[in-house]
C-alpha cells in the first residue's frame, strides 16, 4: 500500500522548494494549495463561497482571490469557514489522485495546514520545513509583494514551528539548498530510496 508522507511548514519556510526536490527524485507530489486553487474554480465550490462571503468577493462572476485572502487571513472564523468549503473538496480530489498513484511506494502530500486541518492523521510520516522568522518574512514579502504586517498576520494564524516539529518525524531547515538536498537524501535512505536526481 502507498505510504503517505506529509510535508508541511509555515508560510515562507520554502516547503514548495522541498516538494520540488522530492518530485525530482521521482516521488509523486500532491500540492494541496495548487489543487485547492484549481478546485476553487469549480461551480460547486464557487456557489458555497458566494453563500458565505457574498458577492463582494466576486466581480462579473469571477472570484477575487486577493479580496477573499484579505478577509480570511484577518479573521480566524472566516478562515475556518473557507477551509470548511475547500478542505472536503481537496480531500475528495486527493483520494482520486491516490488511486492513480497506488503503484507508487511513497507519495508526498504537501499542505501548509497539515496539522491545523487534521490531515496529518492520514500520513505515515510527517516532514516539517523550518526557516528563521526573518528569512520567512523576507521570502513572502518578495514573493507576494506584500507588507511585513500582513505576513506576520498570516503567520499568527498558523501553528508555530515548535508545535509542528513536536508532531513531525523529520525536520528540514531550509536556509541553504545544498543542505536541504542532504537532508532529503537522509530521508530517502530512511525510506529505502537510495538516490535523488540532481
Residue 6, C-alpha cell as written in the block:
506529509
In this prediction, residue 154 has a pLDDT band, given cuts at 50, 70 and 90, of confident
Q: In whole angstroms, give the CA distance from residue 71 to residue 57.
A: 9
Residue 117, C-alpha cell as written in the block:
486541518
Give the annotated binding-site residues for ATP.
12-17
For residue 194, the model assigns a pLDDT of 61
- Both 113 and 74 in one domain: the answer is no
Q: Per-residue pLDDT tens for 28-67?
A: 999 999 999 999 999 999 999 999 999 999 999 899 998 9
- Both 136 and 193 in one domain: the answer is yes
Work out the average pLDDT over 91-98: 95
- Both 90 and 107 in one domain: the answer is no
Q: Per-residue pLDDT tens for 107-139?
A: 999 999 899 889 999 999 999 999 999 999 999
For residue 196, the model assigns a pLDDT of 47
Domain hosting 184: range is 1-28+101-198
In this prediction, residue 70 has a pLDDT band, given cuts at 50, 70 and 90, of confident
Residue 169, C-alpha cell as written in the block:
518525524
- Both 48 and 68 in one domain: the answer is yes
Q: In whole angstroms, give the CA distance from residue 141 to residue 148.
A: 7
- Which of 74, 94, 114 is the last residue in one of the domains? 94
| CB contact at 8 A, 58 and 50 | yes
Does residue 18 lie within any of the structural domains? yes
Q: What is the 3-state secondary structure (H, E, C) of the chain?
A: CCEEEEEEECCCCCHHHHHHHHHHCCCCEEEHHHHHHHHCCCHHHHHHHHHHHCHHHEECCEECHHHHHHHHHCCHHHHHHHHHHHHHHHHHHHHHHHHHCCCCCEEEEECCCCCCCCHHHHCCEEEEEECCHHHHHHHHHHHHCCCHHHHHHHHHCCCCHHHHHHCCCEEEECCCHHHHHHHHHHHHHHHCCCCCCC
- Which of 52, 75, 94 is the last residue in one of the domains? 94
- Both 115 and 19 in one domain: the answer is yes
Q: What percent of the chain has pLDDT over 90?
A: 82
Q: How many CB atoms lie within 10 A of CB 17?
A: 15
Q: How many CB atoms lie within 10 A of CB 137?
A: 19
Count of domains for the chain: 2
Decide: pTM greater than 0.85: yes
- Both 80 and 108 in one domain: the answer is no
Q: What percent of the chain has pLDDT over 70?
A: 97
Q: Which of 136-140, 156-160, 176-180 has the lowest mean pLDDT?
A: 156-160
Residue 13, C-alpha cell as written in the block:
519556510
Give the annotated binding-site residues.
12-17
Q: In whole angstroms, give the CA distance from residue 8 to residue 24.
A: 18
Amino acid at each position: 500500500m502507498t505510504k503517505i508522507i506529509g510535508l508541511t511548514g509555515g508560510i515562507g519556510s520554502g516547503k514548495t522548494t522541498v516538494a520540488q526536490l522530492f518530485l525530482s527524485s521521482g516521488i509523486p507530489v500532491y500540492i494541496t494549495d495548487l489543487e485547492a486553487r484549481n478546485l476553487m474554480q469549480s461551480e460547486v465550490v464557487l456557489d458555497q463561497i458566494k453563500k458565505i462571503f457574498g458577492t463582494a468577493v466576486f466581480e462579473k462572476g469571477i472570484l477575487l482571490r486577493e479580496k477573499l485572502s484579505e478577509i480570511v487571513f484577518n479573521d480566524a472564523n472566516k478562515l475556518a469557514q473557507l477551509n470548511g468549503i475547500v478542505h472536503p473538496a481537496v480531500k475528495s480530489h486527493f483520494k482520486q489522485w491516490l488511486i492513480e498513484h497506488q503503484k507508487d511506494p511513497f507519495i508526498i502530500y504537501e499542505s501548509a495546514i497539515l496539522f491545523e486541518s487534521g490531515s496529518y492523521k492520514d500520513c505515515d510520516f510527517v516532514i516539517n520545513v523550518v526557516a528563521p522568522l526573518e528569512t520567512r518574512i523576507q521570502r513572502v514579502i518578495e514573493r507576494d509583494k506584500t507588507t511585513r504586517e500582513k505576513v506576520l498576520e498570516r503567520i499568527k494564524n498558523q501553528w508555530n514551528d515548535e508545535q509542528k516539529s513536536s508532531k513531525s518525524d523529520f525536520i528540514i531547515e531550509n536556509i541553504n539548498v545544498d543542505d536541504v538536498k542532504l537532508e532529503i537524501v537522509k530521508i530517502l535512505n530512511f525510506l529505502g530510496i537510495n538516490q535523488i536526481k540532481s
